[in-house]
Chain A
Amino acid sequence: MPENTQHNPLRDPRDRRLTRVAAPSALVLFGVTGDLAKKKLLPAMYDLANRSLLPPAFSLVGFGRRDWNDAQFAEYVKEHVAEHARTPYNEDLWNQFASGLRFVHGEFDDDDAYVRLAQTLDELDRDRGTRGNHAFYLSIPPKTFEVVCQQLADHDLADSQDSKGWRRVVIEKPFGHDLDSARELNAIVERVFRPDSVFRIDHYLGKETVQNILALRFANQMFEPLWDARYVDHVQITMAEEIGIGSRAGYYDGVGAARDVIQNHLLQLLAFTAMEEPASFSAHNLRREKAKVLESVVLPSDLGEHSALGQYTSGLQGGEFVKGFHEESDIPADSRTETFAALRVDINNRRWAGVPFYLRAGKRLGRRVTEIAVAFKKSPNLLFRDTDNEEFGQNAIVIRIQPDEGVTIRFGSKVPGTQSEIRDVTMDFGYGHAFTESSPEAYERLIFDVLLGEPPLFPDHSEVELSWKILDPFENYWSEHQVQPEPYAPGSWGPESAHELMARDGRVWRRP
């Protein structure tokens, strides 16, 4: 589609009302019965249709073990769309959307099922005009990637010389559990799909607020001059959840907080916060700048001193009794999997040398929050000496990613009436309490970008590799030294060692 837009006389770069509509295409969803599909993917597709962004021919093919026919699948989709979609349910719209729903039942290794899938896609090309454009969304465990990719290739469903339209594959994290496995996984996928047809979803990048980091930094003149080691003391990136691991024991045990979120979401946030200005929003330029920052990351010489691991215990959290990590179902008593991880990295480039970046992520913490806090150096204080210096003076810019999206700026102000007393006050920009009501879900944006073939918001394999190169040394250290995660109370801000990590550097964690 993009190649035609320049010859289209109706297109005009000045005409920004003319949003693009994805090309006619079929999306094959593996893992339709998963939580992600139910809560996010299916509703997001309906919302896209509702916003008139999907092409009329758009068809969704579910692939799974259930013995469903198309109508039963449609019923299932409808149930979850009604429950989770952001936009209102409309019968006519639903019928239009539902007319493109198909279901192919079978096991991932079942040859016949892929024959039926190929038939279904052919029929859709013929009857609905999907023009041979097929995207495969693998919302399934990584260990099944190999068999699915191989089957797709064997049945001529993946990239091939004589395929009519485009072929794309969408994969979700985790992209491996270390550098080697990530490479292995990538090799499997790229054996059958071209590198530029692989879309790795890090749903954080679909969030408006993450994209807003670039706007804040580069669309404004007042922040960027301060955005370096001369003025910034350190940066804290926090992703806290108030919930436990719930029913995800099978996935979570053996993975842990660092692999689960630091390797992908937090390092991406770090890249956005620290990167240089890209020459454009193109995938090439954006990825290059992110990769440059990730390549400049240096690890502390003593990995143990500059990292902390924790596991939540049972107890009262916000007035409710919750189970400890070891009491969650299916967690072995000797599990060393961390539910909290904090670590320090440095960025060895001209802009950031000497500014530590502290990353922390955990479950059963004080509240659900993801934020980036850029803490500035204290001002040399001559005039207001009488005031207790600890009380004020550290300016901060806090970018709140979720919830309550926005930006807070903290600065000192004179207390009225007193001689010369200073207190920190905050100035708050909320993306608005009602403002985000109609802003699209991350998955809407990302699925739409997949169908458009717009890769800037998807990390490429080199970023994945670089991220593992940062995390792997920590993971190796923790496993070689048999580091035992330290218990912490639910609803707290992590184990004592996390606070010590900061105290050693003469700093404290911000209370988000």
Chain B
Amino acid sequence: MIVQMENTTAAKIEKKLNQLRDENGVVTLGRVLTLVILAQAGHSEMAVEAANYASHEHPCRIIVHVAHSRTDETRLDAQLRVGGDAGASEVILMHGYGDLAEPTETLVSALLLPDAPIVAWWPHDFPQNPSESSIGRIAHRRITDSSRADEPFASLTQLARQYTPGDTDLAWTRITNWRVQLAAVLDQVGPVAVREIVLEGNAVAPSMLLLGVWLSQRLGAKVTIRTDGSGRALDRVALLTDQGAVEINRPGRTVAVLSQPDQPDQQIAMPVRDLKTCLAEELRRLDADEVYGEVIRAGLDAAEVCTAAQAKQEVGDVVEAEDAVVETGSEHMTAEAADRGGAAARDGEGDTSTSGSDEADGAVRP
């Protein structure tokens, strides 16, 4: 059921919700959290869809704040979705205009579930300092999505500077499957010295950088990010050891090939993860992700990441984009990659072949 409310207030919305529950018996059982989505006008529907899906695993109340123009007259419109239109949740869409374009605790506090954890999610751009924003301060978890932000690398650097326990970024979630498979391979291989780590793709998206930093931190080896101009950003990870290369290569969207010394090639089912699966994973834990914290905070500076453009003539770009090195905070991260990364992520906007998103391309907007 969908109920529209124009020019309303949070108190009226709460009253309406209670009334709906009494009259229709529409009630969501055992909600475990309140998910507050902080979206921009025109970009909320995909986030709501993903949240509805995730609510099947984590019954929740979803509050979506849609920021409209700050110069409009101050007004709050709302839409309530309950029952079949809301998955295993109830959705409250709040369209804020004028002064209410800024989401604040006072705006939503009457609608938060009592005693339940609050998760804030910025599906696209996020404020200067998420954990210090009004909603961010009351949230137990803050989910950002640097690869979908307008400036992916600037955003990532910003997150690195301001990391507060409880922060996570979906760029990190998107590489979980890669990390799981790489860890599983090393379980089999046993103790081994990795000399070098090579990541390949056509662009350096935030996910790729995070994966590189994590591997480099853990394995104590240098990471080279190579850009090969193929269709998608992250499609090959190789760990170079004295015995040969352990390599996962995913040229398509579902199946990757694992190669390792003295073993036949193996196929791994590793489908590209879409937004809803990533969000569901993100909601599975409500405590701080310390490993992410280490990667984003210490890692971006300390890890040995360097990028190698395959074509020598592109060296010129490296010099040109020197500023980008500073911006990502990585000494070894050469500008060429950062620059291309930013460009590719933006290019990704045009990629409508996927319904959700990808480890790499990131910026698919509805």
Chain A residues near B (Cβ < 8 Å): 1, 4-5, 7-12, 14-21, 23-24, 49-50, 52, 54-57, 90, 92-93, 95-97, 99, 126-129, 131, 406, 428-435, 437-438
Main SS class of interface, B: mixed
- How distant is the Cα of A50 from the Cα of B270 in the complex, in angstroms? 8
Interface string of B157-188 (1 = CB under 8 A from A): 00000000000000001001101111110111
Known pairs A57-B266, A90-B271, A431-B30; A19 contacts B180 (CB<8 A): yes
Do residues B264 and A127 form an inter-chain contact, with CB atoms below 8 A?
yes
The 6 listed contacts between A and B (C-beta, < 8 Å) are: A7-B191, A12-B291, A21-B180, A24-B266, A52-B177, A52-B271
Do residues B267 and A96 form an inter-chain contact, with CB atoms below 8 A?
yes
Interface centre among A10, A11, A52 (most CB of B within 10 A): A10
Q: Which 9 A-B pairs have the closest CB atoms?
A: A434-B88, A56-B266, A21-B184, A92-B254, A56-B268, A10-B183, A430-B29, A129-B263, A15-B291
- How distant is the Cα of A20 from the Cα of B281 in the complex, in angstroms? 15
- How distant is the Cα of A396 from the Cα of B268 in the complex, in angstroms? 49
For residue B252, CB closer than 8 A to chain A, the reply is yes
- Contact among B87, B220, B270, B289 with A52 in the assembled complex (CB-CB below 8 Å): B270
A8 and chain B: residue at smallest CB distance: B186
Do residues B30 and A429 form an inter-chain contact, with CB atoms below 8 A?
yes
Do residues A52 and B191 form an inter-chain contact, with CB atoms below 8 A?
no
Q: Using a CB-CB cutoff of 8 Å, which residues 255-290 of chain B contact chain A?
A: 255, 258, 263-264, 266-271, 280-281, 285, 289-290
Interface centre among B182, B186, B190 (most CB of A within 10 A): B186
For residue B138, CB closer than 8 A to chain A, the reply is no
Do residues B219 and A10 form an inter-chain contact, with CB atoms below 8 A?
yes
For residue B218, CB closer than 8 A to chain A, the reply is yes
For residue B12, CB closer than 8 A to chain A, the reply is no
- Contact among A7, A17, A52, A429 with B269 in the assembled complex (CB-CB below 8 Å): A52
Additional A-B contacts beyond A92-B255, A96-B268 (8; CB < 8 A): A4-B188, A8-B186, A17-B176, A24-B266, A52-B269, A55-B184, A96-B267, A128-B264
Known pairs A1-B188, A10-B186; A437 contacts B270 (CB<8 A): no
How many residues on B have C-beta within 8 angstroms of the other chain's C-beta atoms?
A: 46
Chain A residues within 8 Å of B252, by CB:
92
B183 and chain A: residue at smallest CB distance: A10
Do residues B281 and A435 form an inter-chain contact, with CB atoms below 8 A?
no
- How distant is the Cα of A447 from the Cα of B219 in the complex, in angstroms? 32
Known pairs A92-B255, A435-B57; A131 contacts B188 (CB<8 A): yes
For residue B195, CB closer than 8 A to chain A, the reply is no
Do residues B180 and A434 form an inter-chain contact, with CB atoms below 8 A?
no
- How distant is the Cα of A56 from the Cα of B258 in the complex, in angstroms? 8
Q: What's the minimum C-beta distance from B67 to chain A, rounded to whole angstroms?
A: 30
Q: What's the minimum C-beta distance from A236 to chain B, rounded to whole angstroms?
A: 24
For residue B362, CB closer than 8 A to chain A, the reply is no
Do residues A433 and B88 form an inter-chain contact, with CB atoms below 8 A?
yes
Do residues A10 and B266 form an inter-chain contact, with CB atoms below 8 A?
no
Do residues A430 and B180 form an inter-chain contact, with CB atoms below 8 A?
no
- Contact among A9, A93, A437 with B271 in the assembled complex (CB-CB below 8 Å): A93
Chain A residues within 8 Å of B218, by CB:
9-10, 12
For residue B59, CB closer than 8 A to chain A, the reply is yes
Known pairs A57-B266, A432-B30; A9 contacts B219 (CB<8 A): yes
Q: What's the minimum C-beta distance from A101 to chain B, rounded to whole angstroms?
A: 13
B182 and chain A: residue at smallest CB distance: A10
Interface centre among A96, A127, A429 (most CB of B within 10 A): A96
- Contact among A14, A20, A430, A437 with B30 in the assembled complex (CB-CB below 8 Å): A430
Do residues A90 and B254 form an inter-chain contact, with CB atoms below 8 A?
yes
Do residues B258 and A10 form an inter-chain contact, with CB atoms below 8 A?
no
Known pairs A92-B252, A430-B29; A435 contacts B266 (CB<8 A): no
- Contact among A10, A52, A428 with B268 in the assembled complex (CB-CB below 8 Å): A52
Chain A residues within 8 Å of B253, by CB:
92
